[in-house]
Structure 1
Amino acid sequence: MNWRLIGACTLAFASVQFSPALGQTDIQSQRVQFARGASSATVKGTIKGYAIRDYVVGARAGQTMTVKLTTPNTANYFNVTPAGSDTAIFVGSTSGNSFRGTLPVSGDYTIRVYLMRSAARRNETANYALAIGVTGRPAAVAPKPSVDAVVPGTQFHAVTSIPCKAAPGQPTRQCKAGVIRSPGGEATVRITLPGGSERNIYFNNGNASSSDARTPKFSVTRDGDTSIVTVGAGERYEIPDMLVTGG
């Protein structure tokens, strides 16, 4: 397999960034902090026309974030953007008003509430409630956002396909994989499994150290310049060093 990764020309993992209305935009930002001992909070607000509300939530790689928007206005949506990126990992206008996902990096995530352009032009109003939760234990290695260039249309610094196996007894297949590299030699490799589920593998100084799986079973062997990562009872991933480090 050719592991020369050409970031700017790679179409795998490409996603369309749907922007909210950006006319004469009024953007207000608010940090959301959970009460002591709590893992969630609900904020309420109103937007009108081109107004946008950004809610900033601090979280760590490996944790699970949930967001649910309740609104009577069918043109009212939200996006979720990770720390250090301008590309949303969730776009409400195409995916609905409920998000749940494992976080790829540590830092501040922005949840942007907006009206679609057609509704903004009509100067519509939306009263909404936004329920935000962050649960689970963070990864052993929690990557911070990087300033490296990303593949256009994605949050990844490189993308490729790797040999993978989702369960014992299944054949080895090719899975899409993207990497988010961070300062200090940390990285997150996100793998899309057959069926659409995802697995995050975390690296420290080029070495696989943990995953976002709930099982503690995690092992790594080396085959030349490739890490053979086994998770749980039989997940298996062959991750090349070049994907992780870019070197």
Structure 2
Amino acid sequence: MRVPLSDFGRTSGLLAVVVVSGSALATADGPDHFRLRAPAALRAEPRSDAAVVRHLPDGGVCLRNLGCRAAPRSSGEPWCRIEHAGQQGWVEARRLAEAACAQGVPPVIRGRLRGYEDVDYPLHGRAGQTLSVVLRARHPQLYFNVLPPGGEAAMFIGSQTGDRFARTLPADGIYTVRVYLMRAAARRNERGAFTLRLGLVGTPLAARDDAKDARVEGTPYHATALLRCARGDAAPDPPQATREGDLTRLRIGDDERIEVPDALLTGG
């Protein structure tokens, strides 16, 4: 289930409806978005035996309306075509209700998953802002990833790194926080409840003229960074390096540590 949190469509001021088999059915001129009344399958065709594109858990919102039509002869229910996280498909109209798409980032989100369900929370971030995510879940195999704009390669993988994320965003765009159960738990159709805290703070970086050299003001450099380090007794052990997101962590012996952000090495 994808749940856009900001800068998405608004409900139309005029709602055109027709009544089909006792149900209020929105036409293409109806609401911009729906919410789910009950769990539903997003199907490739407007019929109950069509292939499933994906499952939509209970509570789904911000389902974009692409138009509805009367049911085929084989079914007594009308169907609506919707867009969900970039995927399009059909849902029975009786499972949908008109709803505005939520604006802003709620400070606390509570939800639950089952099996192979996942929940996406897209939000529009600006370069220079700090995105923070904290997950609380009792199920030991429930995690979240953070996906960058326009990509499926996660910039943060919770199953490898933990239940907290905080990072300055490198570019404008839609960042996606995806909550999921690990494959072993999903295969057993297990359930898990979670609480997610999202934060997006800070002043976005000012746009620069592409024709100008993007040096840091007052310096000959293109990027600056803060190196966090700790030093103890000298140790003969060779240095060790690990990666965490856009950080390279250097460890020398047991007491000396240095964190080097990619921006220092690549210019941001």
Higher relative strand content: 1
What TM-score does the superposition give when structure 2 sets the normalisation length? Answer: 0.45
Tell me which structure has the larger Cα radius of gyration: 2
What TM-score does the superposition give when structure 1 sets the normalisation length? Answer: 0.49
